């Protein structure tokens, strides 16, 4: 009986790397080359990872953003206390190279499962929990100087956009003025090879970023963006990196001012701080995410009196709120600004906080028809 010939395996077409992918690939292969070079010379392979600690973060008054300092932590293969972290670092880099080779993207959890396995000859897994791989991913980002989106990794998408702008999303034309009640869902990866922006296809004059989707829905239903020629975005609370990166790109590439409507509480102040100066954890990428020119439009500590709100609209501060407010008051970018010091002091003196939704106690559309239009017309904001 004649033997069956094996079915030929279909050859996968070679993935064409974008210029950005080529730069990222060069950094990944450069890391691998250094490992091979050290091993060939019988030297201890190591990586020097910039420290992501508070002590290694500084505020640049000139650039008005947070920057990472020069401190680094050496991670060596032949040091028993560092060997596991070193091998995990190389493993994550290898997984990212695989994604680029295949022209695929995956979630942070997807990469965790890609790389999780029991080490041969041992009873130990490469990773036990996703948090372990997530930390290493952040290490690889700062080690290579590449954000995770460039490593073909994404997190859960959160945030929406509506307004007079037409953009391309992976070649598909998206008219953000015709996206219905849900708006355009902002993806996790918004780099130029995915999202293409064109100033000629944007009729908006500014961006209004609100904290929560519930507030965003009110502005969208009232078609605030249409009446005031703006783009309307939200980040579901603390905005994810995709939202921050897209806001940065629209601000810089489309020359649109950014105004933030956030809760009058320490967490609203912190969200504004992150949008404006960057975050400690992502200080190495502030130059590609932070928007120093962003303005804080409200809510303000004076709004209880100014808007004649009722006592039912206020929420008492707790000890954690007070502690956080005092910490934020000492941020270098707020410390020497009298308006911000007065704002935070007023909130502490009030001993209560206000959510944007509290304005509904005046009228269902008070925030869209009165509050924000008046603040914009008077240029009444904090910087």
| 237 and 261 inside one domain | yes
Per-residue pLDDT tens over the stretch 279-310:
877 787 888 899 999 999 989 999 999 999 99
In the three-class reduction of DSSP (H, G, I as helix; E, B as strand; rest coil), residue 110 is classed as helix
| Residue 366 pLDDT greater than 90, yes or no | yes
Domain termination site, one of 154, 173, 195? 154
Q: Reply yes or no on whether the pLDDT at 9 is more than 60.
A: no
Q: Are both 186 and 309 inside the same structural domain? A: yes
Distance CA 380, CA 343 (A): 13
Residue 88 shares a structural domain with residue 142: yes
Last residue of a domain, one of 130, 154, 178: 154
* pLDDT tens, residue by residue, 62-96: 999 888 888 888 898 888 888 899 999 999 999 99
Which tokens sit at 42?
A: 């019988």
In terms of domains, do 110 and 214 share one? no
Report angle CA 374, 379, 383 to the nearest 5 degrees. 125
Q: Is residue 29 part of a domain?
A: yes
Identify the active-site residue in 113, 154, 304, 331: 113
Say yes or no: 112 and 190 in one domain.
no
Domain enclosing residue 111, as ranges: 19-44+79-154
Q: What are phi and psi of 381, to 5 degrees?
A: -145, 170
**In this structure, is residue 131 part of a structural domain?**
yes
- By the 8 A CB rule, do 135 and 85 touch? no
Indicate whether 146 and 194 sit together in one domain.
no
In this structure, are 97 and 164 located in the same domain?
no
Domain count, the chain: 2
50: confidence class by pLDDT, cuts 50, 70, 90: confident
Q: Is residue 14 part of a domain?
A: no
CA distances to 53, 55, 144, 241, 290 from 50, in Å: 9, 12, 10, 20, 20
Radius of gyration of the chain (CA): 24
**167, 250: one domain:** yes
Indicate whether 228 and 121 sit together in one domain.
no
Which CATH number goes with the domain that contains 176? 3.40.1360.10
Do 176 and 146 lie in one domain? The reply is no
Residue 366 within any structural domain of the chain: yes
Distance separating alpha carbons of residues 19 and 193, to the nearest angstrom: 9
Q: How far apart are CA 258 and CA 311, in angstroms?
A: 31
112 sits in the region (left: phi over 0; alpha: psi -120 to 50; else beta) called alpha
Question: What are residue 353's DSSP bridge partners?
Answer: 315
Residue after which a domain boundary falls, among 100, 121, 154:
154
Is 332 inside any structural domain?
yes
Note the pTM of the prediction, 2 decimals: 0.86
pLDDT at site 1: 45
User: 197: which residues sit within 8 A by CB, 6+ positions away?
Assistant: 165, 167, 249, 250, 253, 254
Report yes or no on 120 lying in a domain: yes
Task: Say yes or no: 129 and 27 in one domain.
Answer: yes
**Is residue 134, in this structure, part of any structural domain at all?**
yes
How much helix, strand and coil, in percent to the nearest 5, is found in the chain? 45, 15, 40
Read off the pLDDT band of 6 (50, 70, 90). Answer: low
Q: Is residue 210 located within the same domain as residue 268?
A: yes
- For residue 234, what pLDDT is reported? 96
Written as six digits, the tokens of 156 are: 């859960």
Residue 113 bears catalytic tag: yes
Q: Is residue 49 part of a domain?
A: no
pLDDT digits (tens, 9 = 90+) for 109-157: 999 999 998 888 778 889 999 999 999 999 999 899 888 889 999 887 7
Alpha-carbon distance 290 to 296, whole Å? Answer: 14
* CATH code for position 131: 1.10.10.10
* pLDDT surpasses 50 at 195: yes
């Amino acid at each position: 009986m004649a033997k069956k010939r094996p079915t030929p395996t279909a050859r996968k077409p070679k993935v064409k790397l974008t210029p950005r992918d080529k730069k990222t690939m060069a950094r990944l292969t450069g890391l691998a080359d250094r490992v091979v070079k050290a091993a060939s010379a019988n030297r201890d392979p190591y990586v020097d990872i910039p420290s992501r600690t508070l002590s290694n973060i500084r505020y640049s008054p000139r650039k008005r953003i947070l920057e990472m300092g020069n401190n680094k932590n050496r991670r060596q293969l032949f040091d028993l206390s560092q060997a596991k972290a070193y091998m995990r670092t190389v493993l994550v880099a290898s997984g990212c190279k695989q994604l680029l080779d295949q022209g695929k993207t995956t979630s942070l959890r997807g990469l965790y499962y890609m790389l999780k396995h029991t080490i041969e000859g041992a009873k130990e897994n490469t990773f036990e929990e996703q948090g372990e791989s997530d930390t290493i991913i952040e290490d690889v980002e700062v080690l290579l100087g590449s954000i995770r989106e460039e490593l073909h990794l994404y997190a859960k998408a959160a945030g929406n956009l509506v307004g007079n702008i037409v953009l391309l999303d992976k070649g598909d034309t998206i008219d953000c003025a015709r996206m219905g009640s849900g708006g355009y869902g902002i993806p996790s990866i918004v780099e130029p090879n995915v999202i293409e922006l064109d100033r000629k296809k944007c009729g908006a004059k500014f961006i209004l970023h609100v904290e929560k989707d519930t507030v965003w829905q009110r502005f969208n239903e009232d078609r605030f963006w249409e009446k005031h020629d703006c783009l309307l975005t939200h980040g579901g609370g603390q905005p994810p990196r995709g939202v921050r990166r897209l806001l940065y790109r629209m601000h810089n590439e489309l020359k649109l001012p950014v105004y933030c409507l956030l809760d009058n509480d320490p967490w609203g102040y912190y969200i504004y701080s992150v949008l404006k100066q960057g975050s400690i954890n992502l200080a190495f990428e502030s130059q590609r995410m932070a928007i120093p020119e962003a303005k804080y439009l409200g809510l303000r500590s004076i709004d209880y009196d100014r808007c004649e709100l009722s006592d039912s609209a206020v929420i008492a501060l707790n000890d954690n709120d007070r502690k956080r407010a005092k910490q934020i008051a000492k941020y270098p970018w707020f410390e020497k600004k009298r308006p911000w010091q007065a704002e935070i002091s007023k909130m502490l003196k009030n001993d209560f906080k206000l959510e944007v939704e509290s304005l509904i106690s005046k009228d269902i559309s008070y925030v869209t028809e009165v509050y924000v239009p008046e603040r914009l017309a008077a240029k009444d904001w904090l910087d």
